[in-house]
Chain A
Amino acid sequence: MNREKLINQSTDALINYTLHLADDALILGHRNSEWCGHGPVLEQDIAITNISLDLIGQARNFYQYVARQINDFQKTESSQAPSLLERGFGGEVTEDTLAYLRDNREFKNCLLVEQPNGDWAKTILRQFLFSAYQFYLYQELQDSKDEQLAAIAEKSLKEVTYHLRWGSEWVIRLGDGTDESHQRMLKAIEELWMYTGELFTATAYESQAVAEGSGVDVRLLKAPWEEKIEEIFSEATLPYPPLSGGGKGEAVFQQTGGKEGKHTEHLGYILAELQFMQRTYPGSEW
């Protein structure tokens, strides 16, 4: 393997890794934004929309960073161009190019964040499970060798700390609330738990990013994450660990693939709505 190819691989890994972080934030941000105007009460409508805006803000930071890297390569006209360019965006790449003009299979978000909102319990649980993961992820990412990633992580961690607090409170409130809310939480766990394993399963680009000191080894986040989930679930009188067959069966089979572009059917619908304007009126601004 020649040197050029090595550099290419390393750039690819960093770009894919950053895109993965961005896509996670964008898709969950978009999901939460679907609640805007539909929240159960005014105050929570604003709360979930704030979280949505936080996440989309994080996504923007990551996308801008990816766009910069790609444009730098385009300027040098080097043969080491990252493979993402082979598909050809045409011209300068911006954060919008990355969010609005990539297809389903190019998105690297995990399966958990693209799951439908369902009822309030499911939205809350999805946010809680993901915020807990993001909390430990960003804590580690602050020490990344890549200064840009470290800076974004440090800035975003403050937001995520609040998301985790908000999500934890709601999980406890609903889990340890009425029969109805408890049942809804159980149903939400049954629908979402199968997507949590993917968070801690490293893809090739993640491992490469870890090897180069820019990424976080997600396998190491599993223990603190499980501890946090168990702590909150036990306070919420919810079963831990969640088992198949309504708690009587075995460990739940874990779905993976989203981080490598193999998504559930739901992502296509999200992108159809998210990308419609730019696809129909390319380059439109307002």
Chain B
Amino acid sequence: MNNFFRKLYYGDIPEEKTGAGSQQVPKVSPTGGDSEGASDWPLWEIFIRSKQGLDHKHVGSLHAADAQMAIENARDVYTRRMEGVSIWVVESKHIHASNPDDAENFYEPAEDKVYRHPTFYDLPDEVKHM
């Protein structure tokens, strides 16, 4: 096997393309070629529910070719230290976010409306745990 003596035998990935010491994003496909890159794989947002938790919490994101692979990647990347018992994945492009520029008119009007908190009721002594 001549490739045993070649430096590339780990995965056919030329070193200048593995990203070390270079600013540019390596475009490497799973088969080792460099035409179609992993950067073509869509980004997915990962939500994990822990054993005690009731809700899925956002834990991060990763790249995957489809939902199936995203779940498996999430299993490998985000649950290796027993973090969870259930995984949700959502392609990042399907998440719509509020614009930080809207913060002023979105959130500040609520600041002087303390009466929206239900703290103005007299609670009978018998009612506990409120």
Contact = CB atoms under 8 A, between A and B. Distances in A.
A40 B30 contact: yes
The dominant DSSP class at the A interface is helix
The dominant DSSP class at the B interface is loop
Contacts of B30: 40-41, 44, 120, 170, 173-174, 181
Given A116-B3, A169-B68, A40 B29 contact: yes
Contacts of B63: 41-43
A104 to B, nearest CB: 16
Nearest to B70: A43
A117 interface: yes
Of the candidates A40, A46, A165, A180, the one having the most CB atoms from chain B within 10 angstroms of its own CB is A40
Interface of B: 1, 3-4, 9-13, 18, 28-33, 36, 38, 41, 62-65, 68-69, 72-73, 75-77, 80
Given A41-B30, A50-B80, 18 more contacts: A38-B10, A38-B13, A42-B77, A43-B73, A116-B1, A116-B4, A116-B9, A117-B10, A120-B30, A120-B32, A162-B75, A165-B72, A169-B68, A174-B30, A174-B31, A178-B36, A180-B31, A184-B31
Interface of A: 34-35, 38-44, 46-47, 50, 116-121, 123, 162, 165-166, 169-170, 173-174, 177-178, 180-181, 184, 266, 269
